Amino acid sequence: MLPIVNKEKTTALIKEEAKRLGFLSCGISKAAFLEEEAPRLENWLNKNMNGQMSYMENHFDKRLDPTKLVEGSKSVISLLLNYFPEESQGEDALKISKYAYGQDYHHIIKSKLRELQEFMTATIGEVGGRAFVDSAPVLDKAWAAKSGLGWIGKHSNLLTQKVGSFYFIAELIVDIDLAYDTPVTDHCGSCTACIDACPTQAIVEPYVVDGSKCISYFTIELKNEIPTDVKGQFDDWVFGCDVCQDVCPWNKFSKPHSEPLFNPHPDLLSMTKKDWEEITEDVFRKVFQKSAVKRTKFSGLQRNIKFLK
């Protein structure tokens, strides 16, 4: 039997605990079918903008309806965790996305979500549900926007006026009713900085990114050889790409994170282009031992580095 809860009081307690655990913000929405996103996702897939990310075609219904993903679910709790670094790589370096500077975020966030679930059970009673960090068919940006944590920018990332977009998004989908937040307004205005700056013109129109043209796709998701028609367009990126976020005016307000596990390996920030080009498997293991960069494996990183030459 589900616990009887005071929605407002319980929601306030959950948000307070989320803050204590280090989350930037917490927003909550009703678990229901995402009507607006359904045609957009279908259109995006029909145009093959997912490239070889065939997993995006799986579980279409579950991706749009959390009640089909988590039985009995009533609320989606969305959480943001800042990863903006205090120091970035120097000019004379091959570049990786800032989110991969430190340890793999999946494990760090999952641990925090478990703590939040345990807190809810201890405070409210047995709460059923599941935690998600990039690991299942959940449209996390859509849920975060629906929960009032920001708006989807023209580069298709979640944006907030106070801290920009350098943060991870995670969810707890739970079987209790809570007090729900409302979306915020779009503040991109007439700005096209992200569209104009994208090295591979992957932002094909405002709010639409062709995933199969994105540098992140080529350097992380694509397992085959990188097509030669994009040679010379990578702007020294070898794992992911932050260009659309780096040029966004709202990221002037990004503040350094306070999570020690997201701090880069000491050797990373001192690596020059020459160090990157001569990287050995031992150095790869040492510097990226716990980083998301391990996803590409050493051979994948070598492929990306060679492609720049």
Q: Catalytic annotation on 134?
A: yes
Amino acid making up residue 2: L
Q: How far apart are CA 252 and CA 204, in angstroms?
A: 25
- The single-letter DSSP state of residue 111 is H
Q: Tell me which residue of 202, 241, 69 sits closest to 139, measured CA to CA.
A: 69
- Taken as a whole, the chain contains a residue count of 309
Catalytic-labelled residue, pool 65, 92, 104, 134: 134
Q: Tell me which residue of 175, 179, 181, 176 sits closest to 146, measured CA to CA.
A: 181
Opening angle at CA 226, ends 221 and 231, nearest 5: 125
CB burial class (10 A; 0-12, 13-18, 19+) of residue 13?
A: middle
> Which segments within 175-219 are labelled E, that is strand?
203-205, 208-209
Strands in 25-30's sheet, in edge-to-edge order, are 25-30, 75-82, 167-174, 129-132
Q: How far apart are CA 152 and CA 133, in angstroms?
A: 18
User: Is residue 56 within 8 Å of residue 100, measured between CB atoms?
Assistant: no
Write b or e for each residue in 79-112: b if 16 or more Cβ atoms lie within 10 A of its Cβ, otherwise e.
bbbbbbbeeebeeebbbbbbbbbbbbbeebbeeb
Q: Give the Cβ contact number of residue 174 at 10 Å.
A: 26
Q: How far apart are CA 105 and CA 134, in angstroms?
A: 10
Q: How far apart are CA 84 and CA 202, in angstroms?
A: 23
Residues annotated as part of the active site? 134
